[in-house]
């Protein structure tokens, strides 16, 4: 864990990235990484990092660390969207999905679009609330890590 997460963050801090900017980059990467549109996180994370002048390496690192969480959260986001927006329930069995695709493909496509768009709206609302909270919570931790980085010698190249 230290080698894969803390060590790269220490390297970024040693290269002059401010703890605040690093915190915002990590928070953005973490939250973008759990969005319910599978396959969109890397590009979305890169775009946000460029637009908001965040650290690309830190945001991508956080994005890729939470990938398993994205897979776990897709169905809960969709189910919560169905509940809040009162849409038709999503058939979760493969048999039901294949039957719907075979007999009513356009209706299924419409429902898939609706389910995903509602899940994305919920994710965006959660992100708007959590992003500043996570960034503000990470900033003092990264400031302490920066102090530690100044007192720890650079690892020797082998």
The answer to whether the CB of 149 falls within 8 A of the CB of 41 is: no
Q: Residue 46: inside a domain, yes or no?
A: yes
Q: What is the pLDDT of residues 56-67, one digit of tens each?
A: 989 998 999 999
Q: What is the pLDDT of residues 52-98, one digit of tens each?
A: 999 998 999 899 999 999 999 998 999 999 999 998 887 767 788 88
DSSP collapsed to 3 states, 12-68: HHHCCCCHHHHHHHHHHHHHHCCCCCCCCHHHHHHHHHHHCCCCHHHHHHHHHHCHH
The tally of domains found in the chain comes to: 1
Picking from 2, 18, 14, the residue whose alpha carbon sits closest to that of residue 55 is: 18
pLDDT at res. 24 = 96
Q: Residue 156: inside a domain, yes or no?
A: no
User: What are the two backbone dihedrals, phi and then psi, of residue 53, each rounded to the nearest 5 degrees?
Assistant: 55, 45
Q: How far is CA 122 from CA 43, 77, 88, 126, in A?
A: 20, 7, 17, 6
Range of the structural domain that residue 57 is part of:
2-151
Supply the pTM of this predicted model: 0.81
Q: What is the pLDDT of residues 129-143, one digit of tens each?
A: 999 999 999 999 989
Q: What is the pLDDT of residues 23-37, one digit of tens each?
A: 999 999 999 999 999
Q: What Rg, from alpha-carbon coordinates, does the chain have? A: 20
Q: Residue 138: inside a domain, yes or no?
A: yes
């Amino acid at each position: 864990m230290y080698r894969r997460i803390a060590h790269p963050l220490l390297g970024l801090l040693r290269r002059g990235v401010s703890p605040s900017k690093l915190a915002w980059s990590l928070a953005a990467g973490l939250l973008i990484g759990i969005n319910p549109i599978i396959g969109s996180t890397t590009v979305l994370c890169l775009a946000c990092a460029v637009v908001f002048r965040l650290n690309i390496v830190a945001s991508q690192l956080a994005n890729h660390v939470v990938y398993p969480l994205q897979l776990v959260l897709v169905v809960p986001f969709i189910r919560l969207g169905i509940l809040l927006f009162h849409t038709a329930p999503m058939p979760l069995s493969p048999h039901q999905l294949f039957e719907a695709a075979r007999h009513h493909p356009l209706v299924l496509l419409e429902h898939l679009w609706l389910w995903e768009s509602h899940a994305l709206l919920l994710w965006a609302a959660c992100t708007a609330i959590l992003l500043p909270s996570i960034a503000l919570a990470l900033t003092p931790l990264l400031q302490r890590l920066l102090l530690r980085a100044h007192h720890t010698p650079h690892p020797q190249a082998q």
